Structure 1
Amino acid sequence: MKGKELEKSQRINLGTGNIKFSERTIIRVNYLFSVLFLVAAILYLVRDEISLSERVGMSGLYLFTGLIFFIRAHIELSTTSKFAPHFIISEKGLKIKTGVFKKSDFIDWGDVKKVELGHYKIGIQDKTGLQFYPYQTRKETSINLKNSIQAMAIHRGIEVENLLKR
């Protein structure tokens, strides 16, 4: 999707799926854990009471864990990262990426026969059959996502079934 097509598309990043705390709180806690593990790595590295191999090994483990928390906060939980799980709804089709390390799928609206909107999942029926795409996000984001997909599908003349209203 380039040029004018990109301008007509709507990108919805999924962000955090935890509903007990705000997104900002979850991201801050991940950054805090990242800093704590990085400090622990440095402190473990300068300890003299233990062997060199244990210092290097434990420091490396703490460093790795701290980097995982940092990457999670900065990429996966971000609502602005281009690598975060997202849906892109455009005139041409629907691009779905439900995980950071998952491959994105592009579905052309011309191939879609029916769209099913379920509880934190989107079902797309095309010539190959019905495929469900489960995702994790907050309630408001899920509602926004489903409304956007429904509006585009109706605009394209595609049948939409809301599985939640059964």
Structure 2
Amino acid sequence: MFENENSAEFEKRKYKLIITSIDIFKNLYNRGPISLENYFRDNSKFTDTVYSYYKVGLELIINGRPPEQAVFMLEYEKMKWIRKSNITEEDLLLITIVQGIVPYLQKLDFDGFYDLCSNFFSAKEIGKIAELLLEINPHIWEKYLNSEVNSVGAYVEINPHM
């Protein structure tokens, strides 16, 4: 674990990153990849260096790269970022989160994105993230409505005919 990983400023940056990602999901879901073309350029509130890296991921989505290739290209790009002297450990942690988010964006995988977020946030924050995702697509978790949690915490389909 990094020394400053749980600092209040880092937590704010991490939460802003997820809220931004939810907004990107909304744009992708409602208007498609082309809606992302000017996302960070037209939005001056993104001055954090992490968003420059995020822009690389969005360009991969806009250009229609498959998720596997995007993962490789983002890892390649991250290696270049590691060598930059102005990049902090917290920046690298956030860049790694972006690297995990981009494939979920490409596939519009709300469930996978939610699962990823559950690794980084409290139950209260996860509840807010779930609400925001449900505003985009109220049907994203229908599979859970007809399921139950088994003894190891996995969802299992309930067969009404049994």
TM-score, normalising length: structure 1 = 0.30
**Higher-helix-fraction structure:** 2
